[in-house]
Amino acid sequence: MRACFNSGSRIFGNRRKQQASFVNIFLPSSARYSFSEKQPLVTLDYLSVISTFLTEMTGKFRRESQVNESFSRAAIPILSEQHDASQQYGSIISDQDSLIQRRRASSMYSTRARQLHLASISVKNGRYQPIDTDTSTEIKMMMQSSIPLIITLLLQYSLTVTSVFFVGNLGSNQLAAVSLSNLLANISSFGLIEGIASSLSTLCPQAYGRKDYKMVGMHSVRCFLMLMLLYIPIFCFWTWGAYSLLSAVVTEVEACILAAQYLKVLVWSVPGFIVFEVLKQYLQAQGIFHASTVVLLICAPFNFFLTYLLVWNKHFGFGFLGAPAAVAVTNTLMALLLLIYTCFINGYQCWCGLSMEVFKNWSRALKLAAPGVLMIEAEWLAFEIISFASSRFGTESLAAQSIVSTVCVTIYQIPFAVSVAGSTRIAWFIGSASKKAALISTHAAIYVSIGFGAFNCIVMGTGSGSIAKIFSQDEAVVKLASKVLIIGAIYQIPDCLCCVLGGVLRGQGRQYIGGWLNLFSYYVLALPVAFLFGFHFKLELFGLWIGMIVALVFVSTCELFFVLASDWETIIKDSLVEDLDGQMAHGGHNNLAYEDVINDDTLSLRPSRSYGSLIDHNLLSPTISSATLAQVDPSVLHI
């Protein structure tokens, strides 16, 4: 007996079964019927069937919304003695591991699911059995997902580099101003936004993994509203308060004035950035990693030419403020293009609709957002402090620090892409209650991080001189930067490991571990050690980077311990209970299902490998009946 669903004469051996398949396609889930050889064909009103067919064919988006609602809300019913769980959910034994079995039963064969090695279910002895996943498969899937993400992150980073490049040629004050404004923008806005949006790295993939597709959209809308509320104080601060803060820290008055003017224009880029980041997380949770890449392949060149036009062009340019104006236009265009892709091409299947529910139950998101902000802000601010400290050693040290930090930030996009792909995949497995698959995927992520760390280390170590010459022609700066890049090369292995392990913790919903570790390591270990070696032992820039290496070795070691010692049963239960809590808060009465998870001590004994945990966006029916399961062979599937 194998669990699957398809229509066609090769699967259903006679006309009666073909009729049954047609009927089940268009009936609502509550009216669907389980057919077998000995059962007569149920009497139906075929006019209503035809009417339903016409409605389905002419109302694509309404159909998708109804199907998603059926998936997301029908998965946890009120169980009763009369309830036939197998008929509606595909369960084989309704009283054995009912919640987990129904989660697995509602998985569907789909082209994308098979491509991601997350699909295919078989049934043996009345229980859903998983297909095997292994380390090599997980490494392959992470590499495939990481490639478009690496391109996306590099192109997105190029927007900042473009502004610095064009403005830097206007003069030293303008270059200092854009550097100051980017520093303040990262700490006071973009870091906060990315930290809050990182909560979606946990919530959306886990909801997708447990097949609660409506909640993927619900979490995204809630995060968007949360970020737009945050935008109000950001707008006020950048518009009226930036100069006061900058003038209190920086002595160059002209640079402060220019930076404040820059921020007054750049503030209009924040709404577009918010929409783009939320949609990017929303799509990544569904396994759609290439959409943002396509958008940025269009917008990055557009930003380059628009910045040139607004900064340098004699007819249309208006100098220094043309750079933030170009960023604002580009961010808005990025948001619009990704929104169009989501609405009309792919990703709309998880849309939740608009209702008052989006204003409720923000507590889970806030609990994940706070440590996410702490994790990002603690690290970013520490690096900015190191950059300020390097200026105490002279202009050559500051220039060398700029080169090393730029190279490290650029090459950091590789492990960060792996961390996003890994956290999404691990969260899928957690949501689908697949313990062993999550563990294997975690090990694969660690191996990939070490491999990329070694690769980055070799590239930076052997090519340090050539890399430094790309950024400067000053021999003293190149010589110093090439030496510090060797220290930066050693820094790559713990940095890659730390980044990917942070992604694993996000997938688990344990961002708080990374947040507290970053806070302790950077401000109790890194900065004191950096200042000790840099100023007391006169190692200057080398000493500052030694302090950062100490912090990353500590963080990566601690995160590795917490990840390898993870209580996967508790993590999986928390994910399922979060789903149940959300439904009960909206008036659900799933007490039996709730108790099934809370009181379940056998989760670790269940099959725990890869299950079909992605929706088939061309699906015809969410129903898999017992009779159908008994007769379908996956080898004949052609979806």
pLDDT tens for 445-484 read: 999 999 999 999 999 999 988 988 888 788 888 899 999 9
- Name the region of 489 (left: φ>0; alpha: ψ -120 to 50; beta: rest): alpha
- Confidence check: pLDDT of 240 > 60: yes
- Short-list 285, 158, 154, CA closest to 218: 285
Q: How far does the chain reach from its first CA to its final CA, in angstroms? A: 20
**378/82: higher pLDDT:** 378
Tell me, what's the pLDDT at 581?
Answer: 58
- Confidence check: pLDDT of 286 > 60: yes
- Confidence check: pLDDT of 496 > 90: yes
Tell me, what's the pLDDT at 77?
Answer: 31
Calculate the alpha carbon distances from 451 to 137, 441, 493 in Å.
16, 15, 9
Tell me, what's the pLDDT at 383?
Answer: 86
Tell me, what's the pLDDT at 283?
Answer: 93
> Ranked by mean pLDDT, which of 81-90, 100-109, 111-120, 329-338 comes out on top?
329-338
Tell me, what's the pLDDT at 177?
Answer: 84
Tell me, what's the pLDDT at 78?
Answer: 31
Q: CA-to-CA distance for 135 and 147, rounded, in angstroms?
A: 18
Share of the chain above pLDDT 70, in %: 70
Contacts (Cβ under 8 Å, ≥6 apart) of 502: 375, 419, 514, 559
The SS3 assignment for 638 reads: coil
**217-223 mean pLDDT:** 93
- Listed range (18-22, 54-58, 97-101, 420-424) with the worst mean pLDDT: 18-22
**188-195 mean pLDDT:** 91
- Short-list 351, 289, 46, CA closest to 150: 289
**20-31 mean pLDDT:** 37
- Listed range (16-25, 419-428, 503-512) with the worst mean pLDDT: 16-25
Tell me, what's the pLDDT at 315?
Answer: 81
Tell me, what's the pLDDT at 563?
Answer: 94
The SS3 assignment for 124 reads: strand
Instruction: Count the residues in the chain.
Output: 639
**210/340: higher pLDDT:** 340
Calculate the alpha carbon distances from 325 to 118, 158, 173, 577 in Å.
44, 16, 19, 46
**364/298: higher pLDDT:** 298
Phi and psi at residue 396, in whole multiples of 5°?
Answer: -65, -40
Phi and psi at residue 290, in whole multiples of 5°?
Answer: -90, -15
**233/392: higher pLDDT:** 233
- Confidence check: pLDDT of 120 > 70: no
pTM: 0.73
Average pLDDT, the chain: 74
Tell me, what's the pLDDT at 36?
Answer: 37
Calculate the alpha carbon distances from 544 to 63, 391, 522 in Å.
59, 12, 12
pLDDT class for 15, splitting at 50, 70, 90?
very low
Share of the chain above pLDDT 90, in %: 33
pLDDT class for 333, splitting at 50, 70, 90?
very high
- Short-list 321, 334, 190, CA closest to 263: 321
- Short-list 623, 624, 625, 619, CA closest to 64: 619
- Confidence check: pLDDT of 372 > 60: yes
- Confidence check: pLDDT of 334 > 90: yes
- Confidence check: pLDDT of 202 > 60: yes
- Confidence check: pLDDT of 132 > 60: no
Contacts (Cβ under 8 Å, ≥6 apart) of 6: 109, 632, 636, 637, 638, 639
H or E segment at 511? Answer: helix 511-520
- Confidence check: pLDDT of 376 > 60: yes
The SS3 assignment for 121 reads: strand
Alpha helices by DSSP H, 532-625: 541-564, 568-585, 591-598
Tell me, what's the pLDDT at 179?
Answer: 81
pLDDT digits (tens, 9 = 90+) for 566-595: 998 888 888 777 666 555 544 444 444 444
SS3 content of the chain, % helix, strand, coil (to 5): 75, 0, 25
Q: CA-to-CA distance for 505 and 51, rounded, in angstroms?
A: 49
What's the one-letter identity of residue 277?
Answer: E
pLDDT class for 355, splitting at 50, 70, 90?
confident
Query: Is residue 155 within 8 Å of residue 300, measured between CB atoms?
Result: yes
**79-108 mean pLDDT:** 38
Contacts (Cβ under 8 Å, ≥6 apart) of 509: 202, 206, 368, 430, 571, 574, 575
Phi and psi at residue 45, in whole multiples of 5°?
Answer: -85, 100
- Name the region of 76 (left: φ>0; alpha: ψ -120 to 50; beta: rest): beta
Contacts (Cβ under 8 Å, ≥6 apart) of 236: none
pLDDT class for 118, splitting at 50, 70, 90?
low
